[in-house]
Amino acid sequence: MSSSSAVSQTHFDAIVVGAGFAGMYMLHKLRGMGLSVRVYERGDGVGGTWYWNRYPGARCDLESMEYSYSFDKDLQQEWDWQEKYGTQPELLKYANHVADRFDLRRDIVFETRVTHAHYDARAVRWAVTTDGGDQVTATHLVMATGNLSTPQLPKIDGVADFAGRRFHTGDWPHGGVDFPGRRVGIIGTGSSAVQAIPKIAEQADQLTVFQRTANFSIPARHGPLDPSQREAHKARYDEIRSAAYETPFGIAKYGSPTQSAFDVSDAERQKIYEDAWALGGQALLFTFTDLLTDGAANETAAEFVRERIRETVKNPAVAELLCPKDHPIGTKRLCLDSFYYETYNRNNVNLVDVKTTAISRIEPHAVVVGDNVYEIDDLVLATGFDAMTGAARDIDIIGADGARLAERWAAGPQTYLGLMVADFPNMYLITGPQSPGVKSQMILSIEHHVDMIAAMIEKLRAEGLTTVAPEAQAQDAWVSENNTVAHMTLYPEAASWYMGANIPGKPRVFMPYVGGVKQYRATCQEVIDDNWRGFAFSDAG
**Single-letter code of the amino acid located at 362:** I
d(CA 374, CA 380): 14
**By C-beta, is 127 or 368 nearer to ligand NAP?**
368
**By C-beta, is 150 or 189 nearer to ligand NAP?**
189
Residues 300-339 that bind ligand NAP (CB under 6 A): 333, 336
d(CA 249, CA 247): 6
**By C-beta, is 109 or 201 nearer to ligand NAP?**
201
Would you say how long the chain is, in residues?
Answer: 541
Tell me, by CB under 6 A, how many residues bind ligand NAP.
28
Least distance CB 10 / ligand NAP (angstroms): 36
**By C-beta, is 51 or 210 nearer to ligand NAP?**
210
d(CA 126, CA 131): 16
DSSP state of 468: E
Strand, helix or coil for residue 283: helix
Cβ-based neighbour number of residue 87 at 10 Å: 17
**By C-beta, is 156 or 474 nearer to ligand NAP?**
156
> In whole angstroms, how far apart are CA 272 and each of 255, 259, 279?
15, 12, 11
Residue from 13, 41, 61, 294 that binds ligand NAP (CB under 6 A)? 61
d(CA 284, CA 277): 6
Angle between helices 442-463 and 21-32 (to 10 degrees): 30
Least distance CB 67 / ligand NAP (angstroms): 9
**By C-beta, is 195 or 431 nearer to ligand NAP?**
195
d(CA 23, CA 391): 14
Q: Which stretch binds ligand NAP (CB under 6 A): 5-13, 182-190, 234-242, 316-324?
A: 182-190
Residue from 95, 148, 244, 420 that binds ligand NAP (CB under 6 A)? 148
Residue from 193, 391, 405, 479 that binds ligand NAP (CB under 6 A)? 193
One symbol per residue from 377 to 406: x for binding ligand NAP (CB under 6 A), - otherwise; what is it?
A: -----xxxx---------------------
> In whole angstroms, how far apart are CA 450 and each of 9, 143, 352, 405, 454?
24, 11, 44, 21, 6
Q: Which stretch binds ligand NAP (CB under 6 A): 59-67, 243-251, 390-398, 425-433?
A: 59-67
Closest CA to 114 of 137, 96, 91: 137
User: Is residue 43 a contact residue for ligand NAP (CB under 6 A)?
Assistant: no
The values of phi and psi at residue 141, to 5°, are: -125, 120
Least distance CB 196 / ligand NAP (angstroms): 9
Decide if 337 contacts 194 (C-beta within 8 A): yes
d(CA 47, CA 89): 10
Closest CA to 198 of 313, 57, 61: 57
Decide if 148 contacts 171 (C-beta within 8 A): no
86 Cα distance to chain centroid: 15
**By C-beta, is 330 or 425 nearer to ligand NAP?**
330
d(CA 57, CA 335): 13
d(CA 29, CA 35): 9
One symbol per residue from 421 to 460: x for binding ligand NAP (CB under 6 A), - otherwise; what is it?
A: ----------------------------------------
Least distance CB 188 / ligand NAP (angstroms): 3
Q: Which residue is nearest to ligand NAP (CB)?
A: 190
**By C-beta, is 19 or 187 nearer to ligand NAP?**
187
User: Is residue 188 a contact residue for ligand NAP (CB under 6 A)?
Assistant: yes
Q: Which stretch binds ligand NAP (CB under 6 A): 88-96, 187-195, 414-422, 464-472?
A: 187-195
d(CA 303, CA 510): 25
- 114 beta partners: 130
Strand, helix or coil for residue 335: strand
User: Is residue 187 a contact residue for ligand NAP (CB under 6 A)?
Assistant: yes
Least distance CB 159 / ligand NAP (angstroms): 9
Least distance CB 336 / ligand NAP (angstroms): 6
Closest CA to 148 of 236, 40, 22, 62: 22
Q: Which stretch binds ligand NAP (CB under 6 A): 127-135, 173-181, 188-196, 429-437?
A: 188-196
**By C-beta, is 42 or 59 nearer to ligand NAP?**
59
**By C-beta, is 384 or 390 nearer to ligand NAP?**
384
- Strands 114-120 and 125-130, by their bridges, are antiparallel
**By C-beta, is 328 or 384 nearer to ligand NAP?**
384
**By C-beta, is 252 or 382 nearer to ligand NAP?**
382
User: Is residue 359 a contact residue for ligand NAP (CB under 6 A)?
Assistant: yes
User: Is residue 212 a contact residue for ligand NAP (CB under 6 A)?
Assistant: yes
Residue from 21, 497, 520, 535 that binds ligand NAP (CB under 6 A)? 497
Closest CA to 388 of 495, 469, 502, 490: 502
Residue from 149, 189, 217, 343 that binds ligand NAP (CB under 6 A)? 189
Q: Which residues contact 519 (CB under 8 A, 6 or more apart)?
A: none
Residue from 68, 145, 213, 415 that binds ligand NAP (CB under 6 A)? 213
Task: Give me the residues that bind ligand NAP (CB under 6 A), please.
Answer: 59-61, 148, 154, 156, 169, 187-193, 195, 210, 212-213, 333, 336, 354, 359, 382-385, 497, 502
